[in-house]
């Protein structure tokens, strides 16, 4: 009977020890999981804050581009009106002789943080799935815009700086280019002058497209910044 009592006490003690060990292990695992969640949450916040800085930098560039294209649009339209006239005054020639054609401002986006997120796969670990979709959507549109702008610039330069347009360019380097420009603009049916007319119309179309594209980027950029800030606010 005494032996049985001792055995029962031992078993109760052993079971108690096991339970305490199990509880200790579970608590340690819970604490470790909590620490990992805190670390992941902290890293996500830091990444999103860096992404906002990149986006804000891009936003400033888009706004600058919009201001540039808006101002250029007025000049291109007025110059086109002059170029399409049958005869030009000396003052009109002086305005049209420096016609620059379409000017493509590089987007030059800051994609350091996005590329890091994409290459490491961390972008897919973000806790907000809708935010992941918006980030990817924005940068895909940005990549498409950058590619289209470069291709469009190549096409335009092939015309504007091509061999059929040399009569418009050769005299520009002269110290007094006006007499040469006057001869050029007097023959408004020459192949080069027809190219100039084509370039004038195309330049306005390109400028309008670039203006719209940068305005679209400003809108998408602003919406993404707002969404990220909202997500960060919810994590506080």
Chain segment 145-155, per-residue pLDDT in tens: 999 999 999 99
Phi, psi of 109, rounded to the nearest 5 degrees:
-70, 150
Number of domains in the chain: 1
User: Would you say residue 207 lies in a domain?
Assistant: yes
Rg (alpha carbons) of the chain, rounded to whole number = 33
Give the residue from 228, 210, 225 showing the smallest Cα distance to 107: 210
Give the residue from 100, 99, 90 showing the smallest Cα distance to 182: 90
The pLDDT > 70 percentage for the chain reads 81
- Confidence tier at 5 by pLDDT (50, 70, 90): low
User: Would you say residue 224 lies in a domain?
Assistant: yes
Average pLDDT, the chain: 86
Contact 80, 49 (CB under 8 A): no
CA atoms within 13 A on the CB side of 2: 0
User: Would you say residue 38 lies in a domain?
Assistant: no
Q: What is the pLDDT of residue 33?
A: 53
Containing domain of residue 69, as a range?
A: 45-234
How many C-beta atoms lie closer than 10 Å to residue 187's C-beta? 11
User: Would you say residue 17 lies in a domain?
Assistant: no
Chain segment 152-193, per-residue pLDDT in tens: 999 999 988 888 788 887 767 778 889 989 999 999 889 889
User: Would you say residue 15 lies in a domain?
Assistant: no
DSSP string, 146-175: HHHHHHHHHHHHHHHTSGGGHHHHTTTTSS
Of 72 and 43, which is predicted with more confidence? Answer: 72
User: Would you say residue 84 lies in a domain?
Assistant: yes
What does DSSP assign to residue 71?
H
pTM of the entire predicted model: 0.81
């Amino acid at each position: 009977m005494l032996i049985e009592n001792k055995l029962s006490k031992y078993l109760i003690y052993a079971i108690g020890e096991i339970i305490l060990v199990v509880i200790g292990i579970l608590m340690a695992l819970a604490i470790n999981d909590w620490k990992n969640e805190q670390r992941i949450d902290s890293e996500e916040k830091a990444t999103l804050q860096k992404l906002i800085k990149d986006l804000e930098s891009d936003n400033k560039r888009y706004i600058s581009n919009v201001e540039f294209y808006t101002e250029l649009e007025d000049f291109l339209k007025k110059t086109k009106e002059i170029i399409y006239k049958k005869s030009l005054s000396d003052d009109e020639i002086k305005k049209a002789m420096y016609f620059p054609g379409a000017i493509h401002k590089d987007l030059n986006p800051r994609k350091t943080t996005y590329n890091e997120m994409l290459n490491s796969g961390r972008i897919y670990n973000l806790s907000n799935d809708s935010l992941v979709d918006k980030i990817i959507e924005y940068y895909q549109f940005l990549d498409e815009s950058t590619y289209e702008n470069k291709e469009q610039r190549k096409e335009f330069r092939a015309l504007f700086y091509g061999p059929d347009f040399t009569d418009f360019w050769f005299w520009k380097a002269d110290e007094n280019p006006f007499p040469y420009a006057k001869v050029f603009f007097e023959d408004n049916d020459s192949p080069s002058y027809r190219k100039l007319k084509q370039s004038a119309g195309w330049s306005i179309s390109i400028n309008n497209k670039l203006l719209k594209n940068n305005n679209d980027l400003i809108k998408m950029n602003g919406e993404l910044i707002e969404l990220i800030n909202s997500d960060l606010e919810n994590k506080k």
